[in-house]
Each structure stands twice: as C-alpha cells, then as structure tokens.
Amino acid sequence: QLRRLLVRHHFLSRGRSQRASDVTHHKYDVIVVGGGHAGTEAAAAATRIGAETLLITQKIETIGALSCNPSLGGVGKGQLVKEVDALDGLMGRAGDYAGVHFSILNRSKGPAVWGPRAQLDRVRYREFIQSQLLNMPRLTVIEGSVEDLIVSAPDPEQPGKHRVTGVHMAGGVGEILASSVVITTGTFLSGSLFMGQTTSPGGRMGEPPSCAGLSHSLREVLGLKLGRLRTGTPPRIIKDTIDFSLTKLHLPDPRPTPFSFINKHTHCKPEDQLPCHLTYTTPGVEDVVCESLHVNSHIQQDTKGPRYCPSIESRVLRFPGRQHQVWLEPEGLTSDLVYPQGLSMTMPPELQLRLLREIPALHRVEIRTPGYGVQYDFVCPMQLFPWLQVKYVQGLFLAGQINGTTGYEEAAAQGLWAGVNAGRTALSLPPLSLSRTESYIGVMIDDLVSRGVTEPYRMFTSRAEFRTSLRPDNADLRLTLRGFEEVGCVSSERYSEAVRVSRNLSEALTALQSFTLSAPRWREKMQYTGISEMKSTLISGEEMLQHKEVSFEMLASIFPDIFAQYMEFSQRIKIEAVYRPHCENQKREMERIQVEESLMLPPDLDYRSLPVSLSDEVREVLDRARPDTLGAAIRLPGVTPAAIVHLLNYVSKTK
C-alpha cells in the first residue's frame, strides 16, 4: 500500500494541471473536451505533433477511468490497441503497466485474428494515464466543465459553414479560445442514469452529465443530427463472498505478451498474474429478470444498446431458456471486488442481489455497488469527414462514444486520429486519413462516416476485408513508419526501432525466398516427412516455413550461417511467410467483389437460413433490406466484407 502511495505521489506530483481561471482568454492550438479514452489519446496525439493543447475534463481524478469492465483488448479490439500503440498512443503501454491477467484469445485460429487481451488493475491504469498526461510538454490539463462552444456566424460566401473558435466554461469561468476543438464527451452528452424505476441526470454513476448547452449547440446552432443510445454495467461484488469452488478456473497465459511494441515485458510478473473464473446463469436468474420487468425502466425503452455486450435482461428476453456464461474478473491486484462480466443489469438493487444469489457460486454474494444503465446522445457520424472533423464546421472534431461507438479501444483509436488532425489543422497542415487497407482504425472510421450507426458500434475482425494483412503482430510495420514520416505523431526512438525491425524482417524474407533446395535435399537436411509428396522442383525456405510443422528456429539451427542472425524475429518471420499467399488471395477476392458489384441477388433468397457462414446480425440486416445487387448489400450498415465474399460465392455457385 505504501509503495502504491509513493508511486502515485511520484507520478502526480510533477503534474501540470492548472486552475480553469488561469487559462481563460488564452488561445490554444487545440482544446480537447473530456478526459476519457478518446480525450486522453486526442490530447496526447495533438501534443505529440507539436500543437499547444489544453485538456478540459470534469474531474482530473477520473482521467483514464474504466467506466465498465476492467479489461483491454480482445478479438478485433486488441488490433486497435496495437495500432494505437504503433502510432505512439498511450493505451498499449498503460495496459502493459496495469495488466494483471494476459491472454491471447482465438489462439486456435491464425495469428491474423488473435486477440491480445488483459484484465486490468483499474487504479494502475488511471495512474499510468494520468502520469503521462500530467507530465507532457505542451499539454495543460484543467478541471472544469465546458458549457458551450464558441461558434462564429456562417460565412455569407459559404452558406452553412460555421467555425468553432473555442469553448465557454461553466460556472462563469469564462471563455478559452483555440484553432481546433475536439469533443469526446462519451456517455455524458444529455446523459441519464437508470436503476429500477429511478432515472437521474448523469454521465456515469456519481458524475453529472455534460451541460445542456453543448447538445443545444451541436443540434440547434450547428444543425447536426443527434441520436440516442444506451449501455449498462453490472454490480460490483465482494470477492470474499464468492464460492470459487463452484466455478471453473481460467488461468492467464504463462508468459504474458505485452501490448506495446516497445515493451519486452509486462509490469506484472508472470507468477503474480491473477486468475478469472467462469460460472453460468440458472433458470432462477431468468425468473428474477421476468418478474422485475415492470420495475425496470431502462429495459422498457426503445433506445438501442450494445448488441455484443447486452444486459442480462436483454439476453434472457432474446434467448429464453438458455444458460449464459458469467465471467468473474478481478478488478485489480489489491482490490476486494470482482466484476461479473455478462451480468450488466438495471433492475432495482434488491432484485439485483436476488438475481445474483440464484447462481450457485454467488449464493451468499454481497454487492458493493449496484449495476445501472445510461442513455446518452450521440452525433450521427456520417456528418464527419474521414479525418473526424465535422463537415461544414471548421475547427470542430468529434471522437469516441459521441460518434456512436462503444468500448475503450474504439474510443482511444478515434481520439488519437482526431487529435492528430485537430493538431494538424491548427498548425495549417492538411488533414490525413487512414485507409481500410492499412488499419483497423481506417476500417472503423470508414464504417462510421460512410455507413453510420444504428446501434453502438464495436470492432470485430470480420469488419476488415484485409484482415490477413491487418494483423496485431505487424501494426508497427503498417503504421509506425507512416506515423513518423508523414503524420508526425511518433517519437524518433520508436521510429528507429520500427525501422530496425522492418529491415531485419525484409532481409530475412529475401534470404528465405532466395534459399532453395530440391525436395530430397530438404528431406535429408530436415528429417521432415511432410515434404515427401512434394513435386521435384526447387523449394524455397519461405515455402518450407509455410508448413505448419516447420519453424524458423528449425531452419536457423540447420543453416545457422544464413538464418541465425534473424532469430530475434523468428515468430514474426514465420507469420509473414505463412500469410503472404493469404494476403494475395484476399486482395484478389476484394478485386472480384468490385467487379461483381452489379451481380443481381435473387429476390427470394432466404437470408435467415442461407447455408453459408453469416452472423445473426448480417442475416437480420440482409433480410430486412433485401438488396437487389451485391453492390447494394455492400453498402448496408452491419454487413461485413467477409459476409459479402460468402454471399458472392453462394450466389455465383447457385446461379
């Protein structure tokens, strides 16, 4: 405890936070409103590219707070964390500092869809983010609430074109000017909290919503279309009141894999990692949900919630009679609390306790804080350019949950890119976009601005048509070089390391491609029977490596003069060699889709039972919209590129 206090003191004592009244009437390059995951990355990125930046947030102590689950990454989301890190963002390093249980999800599948994930210590995560932000040159942090935007009247030469020139602070503090403003108010914009039949204004439990002026400016003054979404969180339960003997133990990976490309190790030692536990709901849980519906206002609303992180009420109503998984996740190394993932709920607290106690492992559980729901305004993201600036409003950028997404990783990734572009605009540099072919961030932003959202958007690997090349292992090669050379948001140390890795990988692959032997020679050298069926032409080292059983270590031990010098990169070389043909195939598939856009889809196609691999969400969207052509299907929100490939193959075959 003492060590933790000393670390906290060390981190925060050098902090650069000021009082709001000290900075009014000052003009900044960039103002970032909100210190959540989007806001912190936006402020840090704007600062890294050289913009004088001000971060305004309601409470400095909640900078870097994890509002809901104490975890980071996962399938699709892990790719975003790696990309944020490759662009020198904070999230990956914070995860390495705060992680207490690291695992790679989807390991049975190929590395392209591996999902780096960690359970986090909440306090440590906040500590890390705050220590970074409060010690950053060119960044000032103040506590306060932004009441409204300063908007200049539309230019008569360019009707409808406004310019945002700063913010008005609440409480009569005054105004602060800036060339660019990034709004990242998360679940706080006109936020309302729900528990049982009680509704109260709030952005998160114990915190007030954003001032009404902000919603008013966005909607009435700037004429933006806003929508409403919802989400919820489970009760936090006391560890000592759980019977873990009735759960299934889930251990972390024995050797934790860091998120950050610049970390060789995680802060938590392998032997200090904490386990998670798995249990299941019972029919009694379903009974409590059904009995409590009339006193559960949140569930009675039509507002859309997160499809892939639904409340227990939604799960029970959608899939009656099913048993649902409940993961019991640690909240931190010294915390006495556990987060029951899968049990987000909004019924009255006494019924929450009754519901939990229907689960055998929780039969005597006690609750520290009850679950609740939140509803909030979001800005329909089709009103944004791909560089996250609002169309027709100069100087205004939006990032995070305000754009209709859900999740820390989605928020951080947008925040970083909005911060880069807000900074560039302020410094009179042209804005930049990320493409779908180079990053998951590009996929997400393109989905948001070109298709919009009808429910909270979260990242999946299936959303990325080029996912075999957008792998977690190669995010540095895809983004760090561009991040330094063109964007300017990457430090020279990180850049040098990425250049070294890139040079070694390409040298190793060239060496593998040019090293050839006949099949009998390979058989003799490697004692490997897997090539006995091979044709008699020469086989390269790269082709050998494409065999599952052949590792780079094997090649390096047999031909040390050529390959041993690259041993440091053995895993990455193996992945590159295995994926090269897949990446080329994927490119051809995408070209085929472009050519086949006008392919007619049979009007009587039964999407609900089509014998191809489509998610329930995609089937539902296709069934509702019944697109005439493949091109029309591609443009439907929620229909993934992978689904289009399956559809194309099916229709071509049955024609």
Cβ(184)–Cβ(38) below 8 Å: yes
Name the DSSP class of 407. S
Residue 324, number of CB atoms within 10 A of its CB: 16
Tally helices (H) and strands (E) across the chain. 24, 24
End-to-end C-alpha distance for the chain, whole angstroms = 69
| Shortest spacing between CB 291 and ligand FAD, in angstroms | 24
Closest separation in Å from C-beta 280 to ligand FAD = 19
Structure token pair of residue 2: 């003492």
The only residue of 20, 28, 30, 36 in contact with ligand FAD, by rule CB under 6 A: 36
Q: Interface with ligand FAD by CB under 6 A: which range of 13-21, 57-65, 91-99, 252-260?
A: 57-65
Q: Which position among 411, 444, 618, 651 is part of the footprint of ligand FAD (CB under 6 A)?
A: 411
The only residue of 32, 49, 55, 57 in contact with ligand FAD, by rule CB under 6 A: 57
**Span of 7-15, 178-186, 469-477, 564-572 interacting with ligand FAD by CB under 6 A:** 178-186
* Nearer CB in complex with ligand FAD: 133/643: 133
Ordered DSSP codes for 477-514 = IIIIHHIIIII--S-HHHHHHHHHHHHHHHHHHHHHHH
Query: What is the torsional sign of CA 526, 532, 534, 537?
Result: positive
By CB under 6 A, tell whether 406 contacts ligand FAD.
yes
Q: Determine which residue in the list 34, 70, 166, 252 makes contact with ligand FAD, applying CB under 6 A.
A: 34
Contacting ligand FAD (CB under 6 A), which of 37, 124, 168, 494?
37
3-state secondary structure 295-331: HCHHHHCCCECCCCCCCHHHHHHHCCCCCCEEEEEEC
List the one residue out of 40, 51, 142, 56 whose CA is nearest residue 94: 40
**CA angle at residue 401 from 58 to 404, to 5 degrees?**
150
Query: For ligand FAD, which is the closer residue by CB, 105 or 636?
Result: 105
**Contact range with ligand FAD by CB under 6 A, out of 181-189, 427-435, 492-500, 570-578:** 181-189
190: left (phi over 0), alpha (psi -120 to 50) or beta: left
| Per rule CB under 6 A, count of chain residues that contact ligand FAD | 39
Please choose, out of 3-11, 124-132, 180-188, 250-258, the segment that lies near ligand FAD by the rule CB under 6 A: 180-188
Residue from 256, 407, 419, 483 touching ligand FAD (CB under 6 A): that is 407
- For the CB of residue 220, give the shortest distance to ligand FAD in the complex, in Å: 17
Report CA Rg, the chain: 26
For the CB of residue 62, give the shortest distance to ligand FAD in the complex, in Å.
5
The reply on whether position 516 binds ligand FAD by CB under 6 A is no
Q: Which of residues 80-99 bind ligand FAD (CB under 6 A)?
A: none
CB of 493 to ligand FAD, least distance (A): 27
- Residue 173 Cβ vs ligand FAD, minimum distance, rounded to whole Å: 11
Is residue 408 part of the contact set for ligand FAD (CB under 6 A)? yes
| CB 602 to ligand FAD: min, Å | 37
Give the C-alpha separation, 51 to 327, whole Å.
Answer: 43
Among 39, 73, 330, 332, binds ligand FAD (CB under 6 A): 39
Does 136 bind ligand FAD (CB under 6 A)? Our answer is no
When asked if residue 79 is in the footprint of ligand FAD (CB under 6 A), the reply is no
Residue from 31, 51, 54, 67 in contact with ligand FAD (CB under 6 A): 67
Q: How far apart are CA 426 and CA 618, in angstroms?
A: 41
**Position among 24, 62, 199, 540 found at the interface with ligand FAD (CB under 6 A):** 62
Dihedrals phi, psi of 513, to nearest 5 degrees: -70, -35
The conformation of residue 43, written as its DSSP 8-state character, comes to H
Q: Hunting for tokens 């936070």 — which residue is that?
A: 17
E strand or H helix at 639: none
CB of 439 to ligand FAD, least distance (A): 19
Q: Which is nearer to ligand FAD, 67 or 103 (CB)?
A: 67
Q: Looking at residue 221, what DSSP letter applies?
A: I
Which of 68, 361, 365, 593 binds ligand FAD (CB under 6 A)? It is 68
If binding is defined by CB under 6 A, does position 401 make contact with ligand FAD?
Answer: yes
Residues in 188-207 that interact with ligand FAD by CB under 6 A: 188, 203-204, 207
Q: What's the closest the beta carbon of residue 188 comes to ligand FAD, in angstroms? A: 3
Maximum CA pair distance of the chain? 83
Task: Give the helix ranges, DSSP H, for 361-518.
Answer: 408-426, 440-451, 475, 481-482, 492-514
Q: Of 225-244, which residues contact ligand FAD (CB under 6 A)?
A: 231-233
Establish if 400 lies at the interface with ligand FAD (CB under 6 A): yes
Q: In angstroms, what is the minimal distance from the CB of 150 to ligand FAD? A: 14
Q: Give whichever of 106 and 215 is closer to ligand FAD, judged by the CB atom.
A: 215
Quickly list DSSP for 559-625.
SHHHHGGGGGGHHHHHHHHHHHHHHHHHHHHHHHHHHTTTPBPPTT--GGG-SS---HHHHHHHHHH
Is 63 or 577 the residue whose CB approaches ligand FAD more closely?
63
Among 20, 23, 32, 38, binds ligand FAD (CB under 6 A): 38
For ligand FAD, the closer of residues 196 and 541 by Cβ is: 196
φ, ψ (nearest 5 deg) of residue 546: -75, -10
Exposed, middle or buried by CB within 10 Å (0-12, 13-18, 19+), for 216? middle
99 closest CA partner among 326, 335, 249, 274: 274
Give 533-568 as a DSSP string.
Answer: TS-SS-EEHHHHHTSTT--HHHHHHHSHHHHGGGGG
User: Residue 129 or 426: which CB sits closer to ligand FAD?
Assistant: 129
For binding to ligand FAD (CB under 6 A), which residues are involved? 33-39, 56-58, 62, 67-68, 145-146, 184-188, 203-204, 207, 210-211, 214, 231-233, 306, 309, 344, 374, 400-401, 406-408, 411
